[in-house]
Amino acid sequence: MAEHENNSLDWKTVAAIEKDLRYISGIIKQKGREILNNYGITPPQFVAMQWLFEEGDMTIGELSNKMYLAFSTTTDLIDRLEKNRLVKRTKDEKDRRVVRVQLLEEGVRIIDEVIKKRQQYLAGLLVNFEPEEREELQQYLQKLHRYMKE
């Protein structure tokens, strides 16, 4: 992370930004849970489905690592998703001993719908911003995300 020597930090501002981000995150999680209630899936199940949607098929071990969950917890989660016909286990074509988890069509449909509903919620709030403010907000969030990934 590049340090900017001329940019001395105002810790009151840092504290306020952290608090706002924490509150925003909490509200987004709550809204997400409300949306998921209509689909009969839990937030961790949705996160697993999102990983499969974004990254493609993976093993339960790989999914466990991405979600920071125990292997046994992830196995139970996948069992429930498979029972609901949202994912399926398949043998790896290269190594038949390896079992991969694949998102099914219904899982893709749910991901699409939930994300669209989240975006609609956000759009309803962003109409209160000027177009330039929306663009700046997006750029600042993208920049913060980039630094967090480093």
Domains: count for the chain: 1
Q: What is the pLDDT of residues 95-122, one digit of tens each?
A: 888 999 999 999 999 999 999 999 999 9
Residue 1, domain member (yes or no): no
Three-class HEC string of 87-128:
EEEEECCCCCCCEEEEECHHHHHHHHHHHHHHHHHHHHHHCC
Residue 5, domain member (yes or no): no
Q: What is the pLDDT of residues 26-75, one digit of tens each?
A: 999 899 899 999 998 999 999 999 999 999 999 999 999 999 999 999 99
Residue 28, domain member (yes or no): yes
pTM: 0.81
Residue 21 domain boundaries: 16-149
Residue 3, domain member (yes or no): no
In degrees, rounded to 5, the angle at the alpha carbon of residue 124 between the alpha carbons of residues 118 and 126 is: 100
Question: Looking at the predicted structure, is the pLDDT value of residue 5 above 80?
Answer: no
CATH at 61: 1.10.10.10
Which pLDDT band, with edges at 50, 70 and 90, does 6 fall under? low
